[in-house]
Structure 1
Amino acid sequence: MKTVNKEKKLCFILNIGPHYRFPVFNAIAENFTCAFYIGNHLKQSIKTFDYKALKGYVATLNNHFVRNFYWQSKSLRLVFKNYDMYFMDGEPYCLSSWIVLLLCRILGKQTVAWTHGWYGREGFVKRLIKRLYYSLYTKLMVYNEYSIKLMEREGFNPDKMYCIANSLDTEKDLKIRSELSPSNIYRNYFKNDCPTIIYCGRIQKWKKLDLVLRCISQFKSEGVIVNAVFLGKDVENVALDKIAENLGIADQIWLYGPCYDEQIIGEMFYNADVCLSPGNVGLTAIHSLTFGCPVLTHDDFKHQGPEFEAIRAGQTGDFFKEGDVADMKAKIAFWIKKDEESRNKTRIKAFDEIDRKWNIYYQLGVIEKVVNDEQ
């Protein structure tokens, strides 16, 4: 990566450092003059990276919670340091960030939210709070165009909003992708050449993974054998193995368990027919498309992760009607019936979508634009 901008001094005040974000934060540190101040914990359990391994890391801030609200100690004093722009998570629940924003406005310093923005499910009170909170920022980096359009309807100036998208470890994943080719990984396990569905992520009840098994059972009753592999830890005792056994499809299910080897994950995505995420989809969509696997999830976008926007219906995946198992099964049937030539074309479209937008290089370009645009 070439150096993008070293002139302005950027300060990142973050609620936490999620493990998956280390590559993009490190790339930012290599390309901009910046300092990172990162919160020590959140109420929900999130895997974090080693903060001290991050170039540009300065200090850990203590997050003090009162119910869902929290205060980041020692964050206010950062406003008076020699930084030109302040990047924050854009969380109204962080009470100290409101004060940081007000102080920056008084001192004439620019602020940038790196945020989900609008979901589309906000009630009246939450809309009022969000409208006020985001209006305090100079600029908004929003994860997807869907949220930006919703915010435009709320009266936000489109010229101050930028689509930042999301990414995983782009350089590492692209290297793995370049080495992938069709393999017998599923034939060797299932002892058949039948199509395979993949799911990658934690196994939780709200993700509705039992619906995958019920669809496979229905296919079997029609004489169609479909396999499914689940990469992830069962954190809520969902017991997919017992459900599969009761449905008579235990030999069609591979509960692989948690996997952190990107080479194995890449091979599994590359050779699967479709990635199915019945509950919703987030970074799994980026993971799957990075390795050429189309993604299938529901169409209630206000309850989706921002990464759903990487799915282009009929090209890089599809959407079924939320809660409609018959429609989900029909969409599965569409993707598992593709021949190898069509499957290769899907891989190329998936790669193109990731290379177009859902990568660290794109994000660095957006940040460069945010830093350089005069507002």
Structure 2
Amino acid sequence: MKSLAILQPSIEIYRNDFYHKLSKIYNLELFAKYKNSDLDKNIKFNKTTIIKTNFFEFEIFNYLKLFNSDLIILTGNLKILSNIIIIFINLFYKKKIYYLNQVLSKKHSNIKFIVFKIITKLISGVITYTKTEQRFLKRYYRIKKCFYLSNGLKSVDPKLINIDKSNYPFSIIFIGKISPKVNLDTFLERLIKFNSKCNLNIVTTSKSIKIIERKLNYLKEKNNLITIKLFLDKFDNSFLIDIFNSSHFMIYPGSVGLSLIHAFNFGVPVILPFGKYYHMPEIEAFKNEYNGFYYDDTPDNFIRTLHKCLNIYMLDDYKRLSNNCLDTVKFNYNTENMVNNLMYFLKI
């Protein structure tokens, strides 16, 4: 069994199933500043320290321990100077090193891409999260040693999912941490003009909910047709299943990423602002009117889209959307495919 080391800023709970599956194939060792949950006992964890400056981040740990593994995956952007140092140290060790990062999640300067291209000459290959990113690197930057994972999550047992929600009042859900890029405050302002009964389920952290407390109180004052329910620090699937089973659509008014896949896992269609390049790479999983709806980023069009969703949630059209969501993750965006894609790439 080969050994695999992964260096990353942090270990999030939604990656546990991916690591669990990897640990059955490789002797897995993780290096990170912190972990947000307990890992399997057979997965080794090494704590790192990150020093940040205005321009760079630098991880401090026992570098030589990293090179005990047969395969090494580095994650994070080019600001993490320690990644570049590890790549140059590897000129001596000659281990197989791969670089994993989101390519299309932010704008990159030409200088960064020049540095990126130089680095790709010194490593065994580049791994992207989505096929769109892989095509982008191959087409525009001529990077041949490039593969994708199909970024996904642990699949939910289909037997637990309810797609017939005609007996529930119209409900929409938001899930994720709240930050400026999520644009939730603008969404709450526009919801004031929605003149039909609606439950708004918000699943987020107790820390980030403080950002929109004033907006929530204002919405309650101005529109008594909207019932707001808060679920704080409840991200486990065993808890989320009940919330998603009573929610008809997920709304994500900002730049959506893995939350899109999260909703599809529960068979919940998604409402998004229009713009393919506005979102994170996971947007490739979304097809307008197949597993959700786009809306133009104007108040009137947003309200019209909500009414469109309201009019179909009790019809067979809704079940079609919901089944399409489940098919999207069943055939592509799940941890099983991620592991299989990674195994295939590492053997090339």
TM-score by length of 2: 0.87
1:151 aligns with 2:137: yes
Q: Secondary structure at the match of 1:31?
A: coil
Match of 2:33 among 40, 53, 65: 40
Provide Cα deviations, 1:312-370, integer angstroms capped at 9, x if missing partner.
1111113333x333333333333332243121111211111011121110011011101
Cα deviation for residue 75 of structure 1 reads: 4.5
Match of 2:301 among 308, 327, 334: 327
In structure 2, the residue matched to 1:24 is 18
In structure 2, the residue matched to 1:181 is 162
Residue pair 1:10, 1:84 contacting (<8 A) in 2 also: yes
In structure 2, the residue matched to 1:3 is none
Q: Secondary structure at the match of 1:35?
A: strand
In structure 2, the residue matched to 1:14 is 8
Cα deviation for residue 126 of structure 1 reads: 3.0
Match of 1:71 among 47, 55, 58: 58
Residue pair 2:101, 2:127 contacting (<8 A) in 1 also: yes
Change (3 A) 1:101 1:208: same
For 1:252 and 1:292, locate their aligned partners in 2 and report how far apart those are by CA, in whole Å.
23
For 1:330 and 1:133, locate their aligned partners in 2 and report how far apart those are by CA, in whole Å.
48
1:351 aligns with 2:326: yes
Cα deviation for residue 292 of structure 1 reads: 0.5
Q: Secondary structure at the match of 2:78?
A: coil
1:167 aligns with 2:152: yes
CA RMSD of aligned residues (A): 2.7
Q: Secondary structure at the match of 1:117?
A: coil
In structure 1, the residue matched to 2:203 is 231
In structure 1, the residue matched to 2:269 is 294
Match of 2:249 among 252, 271, 274: 274
Change (3 A) 1:87 1:182: closer
For 2:5 and 2:67, locate their aligned partners in 1 and report how far apart those are by CA, in whole Å.
11
Cα deviation for residue 24 of structure 1 reads: 1.0
Residue pair 1:275, 1:296 contacting (<8 A) in 2 also: yes
Q: Secondary structure at the match of 2:193?
A: helix
- What are the ranges of 5 or more consecutive residues in structure 1 without an aligned counterpart? 1-5, 42-46, 188-192
| Equivalent pairs, count | 343
Q: Secondary structure at the match of 1:337?
A: helix
Residue pair 1:35, 1:58 contacting (<8 A) in 2 also: yes
- What are the ranges of 5 or more consecutive residues in structure 2 without an aligned counterpart? none
Structure with the bigger RCO (C-alpha within 8 Å, sep 6+) is 2
Cα deviation for residue 18 of structure 1 reads: 1.8
TM-score by length of 1: 0.81
Match of 1:49 among 7, 15, 37: 37
Q: Percent of counterpart pairs with the same letter?
A: 15
For 1:75 and 1:181, locate their aligned partners in 2 and report how far apart those are by CA, in whole Å.
49
For 2:159 and 2:216, locate their aligned partners in 1 and report how far apart those are by CA, in whole Å.
34
